[in-house]
Amino acid sequence: GFAVPTSIASVVKDQLIEFGEVRRGRIGIQIVDLDPQLAATFNMKETDGAVVQRVEKGSPGDDAGIKAGDVVVSLDGTPIKSAADLRNKVGLTQVGKSVTVTLVRDGKKQDIKVKLGKTPKQELSQIDERPSLEGAAFGNTDDEDGVLVEKIERGSPAWQAQLREGDVITAVNRKPVKDVDDFEDALKDGGRQVALSVKRDDENLFLIIR
């Protein structure tokens, strides 16, 4: 077995007494670990933190101005070691409380105030990424720079990496791509892991392909 830290046990106990259930705080962002390769993509020396892949529309994070591609490095002044660390800290913070999220955007640190919402009971944990773009067909867009995901096989590695038909890939490892040739060259240069900047309708995503 393992020991539950006293601070966590205390929070859980207090919530059970007050509400009869554990109310997990929520920002409404999907995150992954900041590993060495991603850190290099962001020109960051440190590898502690959590990279924002997606911000749920209308969520506390969206309302506060958090964006896909941001790197969260601390919460209320406490350093964030990993994606799991951020999930735990947010989840054990009281719903409705305002917290200070320190993040790095375009190489600059900034603080953003976020009022935590409540995690829905049916909300599922993040799906693990798959190391491939197999199952997707790509083409050039008609009226803008980028690469269009023309077709995608449901359940394929590309699908499980969260790409969807109609997505427009605008950058690989934060370097803009104009067309399919650009995209293929960027993938060859990207190494074992690439970060895709994706436009989906009016939403911006940051997907990690390992």
CATH of the domain at 159: 2.30.42.10
Q: How many domains does the chain have?
A: 2
Tokens of 121: 């009971």
pLDDT the model gives residue 2: 44
Query: What pLDDT score was predicted for residue 112?
Result: 97
- In this structure, is residue 27 part of a structural domain? yes
- In this predicted structure, what is the pLDDT of residue 17? 57
Which alpha helices (DSSP H) does the chain contain, by range?
Answer: 6-19, 36-41, 60-64, 83-91, 157-160, 180-189
d(C-alpha 181, C-alpha 183), whole Å: 5
The reply to whether 105 and 183 lie within a common domain is: no
User: Which of 118, 149, 165 finishes a domain?
Assistant: 118
Any domain includes 13 = no
Can you read off the two tokens belonging to residue 143?
């009226």
Are 110 and 102 within 8 A, CB to CB? yes
Q: Which of the 8 DSSP states describes residue 72? A: E
Please list, residue by residue across 58-95, b when 16 or more beta carbons sit within 10 angstroms of its beta carbon and e when fewer do: ebbbbebebebbbbbbbbeeeebbbbebbbebbbbbeb
pLDDT along the chain (210 residues), means of 10: 47 53 75 90 91 91 95 95 88 87 95 85 35 78 86 84 91 90 82 84 86
Domain containing 186: what range? 136-209
Terminal Cα-to-Cα distance of the chain (whole angstroms): 32
Rg (CA), the chain: 18
pLDDT value of residue 151: 86
Q: Does residue 167 share a domain with residue 107?
A: no
140 shares a domain with 74: no
Please state, in angstroms and rounded to a whole number, the distance separating the CA atoms of residues 197 and 19: 40
Amino acid at 183: F
- pLDDT confidence of residue 130: 30
